[in-house]
Every structure is written in structure tokens, then in C-alpha cells.
Amino acid sequence: MENRPLDCMEGNLSPKEVELYNILRRLWMDHAIWTRGFTISTAFNSEDLDDVTKRLLRNPTDFAYLLSIFFGNQYAMEFEELLRDHLLIAGQLVNAAKDGDTKTVNEQREKWYQNATDIAVLLGDMSPYWNTQAWQAMLNDHLKMVENQATQILTGKYQESIDQYDNMQTQMLMMADQMACGIIKQFNI
């Protein structure tokens, strides 16, 4: 995916626009950080798994709170539900991979990609400035990165998983900026 600034990021940003960018960047980075934390805790049977899982599952609620301000409760709740499903499916996929259950991995992967399509369609419906196909591509890239990172962690390829995480961070920031730009354009904040 091309890494270029969005047109609404060119020029001076207002304090409200900067705040929105920062909030969305934080939310998407939380998504990446706690997904990695969950994968590591799962791989090593860490005692913090329940706490890490609870924190990870707070991310959809945090997103919904922000989105409800702009798009209302219905869209925000739909996004929250789909993002929570995204995380729960990923958790099942990681656990199945850890157990060597290829059949379940494949089933969960199929559900995960369908969930990404559902998220992309919802985002495309929410804003005329969010393109469903662009979101589909970004979300599919995200899924590939998450699965690669999980595989690398589960197979002891730790440096590769760190490199993958660095790529994920860049991709998460692009997703955050895409979301912020759409909100700025739609609501003239």
C-alpha cells in the first residue's frame, strides 16, 4: 500500500484536527500493541493473558465512543461489534494455530476475512470520504500482518515478528490517518 500523506493533512491543521488525528492514532496503535500482547501471552501461556485480553477487548468500545460523537450510536455500535468480532476471531485463530489445528485455522481465517469485508462496507457506508475498497485493502493487509506476526511468534522467529510489528505500526498509522481525514472532510472540524 502506498504510504503518502492524505490531502487533508497538507497545510496547517487546526487544534481540533490535531486532536482527532492523535486520538485515532492512539486507538489504532492500541489495537496493534494489545493484539501483539495477546499473541505473546497466548504463545507463552502467560499469567497476564486474561488481563491482556480484557484490555484488548476494550479497544472496540474506545473506538465506538469516538465514532458515536460523529456518526451516532447505531454506526458506532455496529463498528464496535464488528471490531470485537475481529479480535475474537483472531484469538480463536491464534489458539488454533498454537494447537496445530489447521482445519480450525482455515475456518477462522475465512470468517476473519469476511469480517474485514463487513467492516470495510460499514466504513464505506458511514462516510462518503471512506472508500470501501480502500478500507478492504488496508484491512486485508492488516490481517496478513497479524497472521504473519502470530506465526513468527509461535515458531520462535522473534526478530521477524518484531520487524513485522514495525510494519504493522506504519500501517496502523495510515489507517488512523485515513479515518481522521474522512471525519475532517465530512464534518468540517
pLDDT at 5: 44
Q: Are 176 and 25 in contact (CB under 8 A)?
A: yes
Residues 6+ apart with CB under 8 A from 126: 67, 71, 75, 79
Three-state secondary structure of 116-178: HHHHHHHHHHHCCCCCHHHHHHHHHHHHHHHHHHHHHHHCCCHHHHHHHHHHHHHHHHHHHHH
Nearest Cα to Cα of residue 158 among 166, 149, 167: 149
Nearest Cα to Cα of residue 60 among 32, 27, 93: 27
* pTM higher than 0.85: yes
Place of cell 466504513: 123
Whether 6 shows a pLDDT value over 90: the answer reads no
Taking residues 126-151, what's their average pLDDT?
97
Place of cell 497476564: 48
Pick 69 or 9 by higher pLDDT. Answer: 69
Q: CB atoms < 10 A from the CB of 183, how many?
A: 25
Whether 7 shows a pLDDT value over 80: the answer reads no
Confidence of residue 27 (pLDDT cuts 50, 70, 90): very high
Place of cell 484536527: 17
Taking residues 48-53, what's their average pLDDT?
98
Q: Are 92 and 104 in contact (CB under 8 A)?
A: yes
pLDDT at 1: 38
